[in-house]
Amino acid sequence: MNSAEGRAFSDACDQCHTLPDPKRHTADEWPKVIERMQKNLRWVGVVSASDDARNPQRLKVEEIITFLRRNSRGR
């Protein structure tokens, strides 16, 4: 969690639940999980997943996926 990617993961994911172990999914599975979580966040209105740079709570999706893939259980 000491990297920008790790902080993006922590900031986004712990809004709704405890942080999942990155090894819970493979590197190839994580992007679909993140896509599903983005939809959930939009639905409950917790944070914007848009690319609007004016929104300070914008999800850093690429950083989150990079972190999870790097720390996943493989492919």
Question: Mind listing the pLDDT tens digit for each residue in 39-49?
Answer: 887 776 665 55
Percent of the chain, pLDDT > 70? 79
Structure token pair of residue 16: 């709704």
Q: With contact defined as beta carbons under 8 Å apart, do 42 and 49 qualify? A: yes
User: Is the confidence at residue 37, as pLDDT, over 70?
Assistant: yes
Q: Angle at the Cα of 5 (from 65 to 70), degrees rounded to 5?
A: 55
Instruction: Give the model's pLDDT for residue 11.
Output: 87
Quick one: pLDDT band at residue 54, thresholds 50, 70, 90?
A: very low
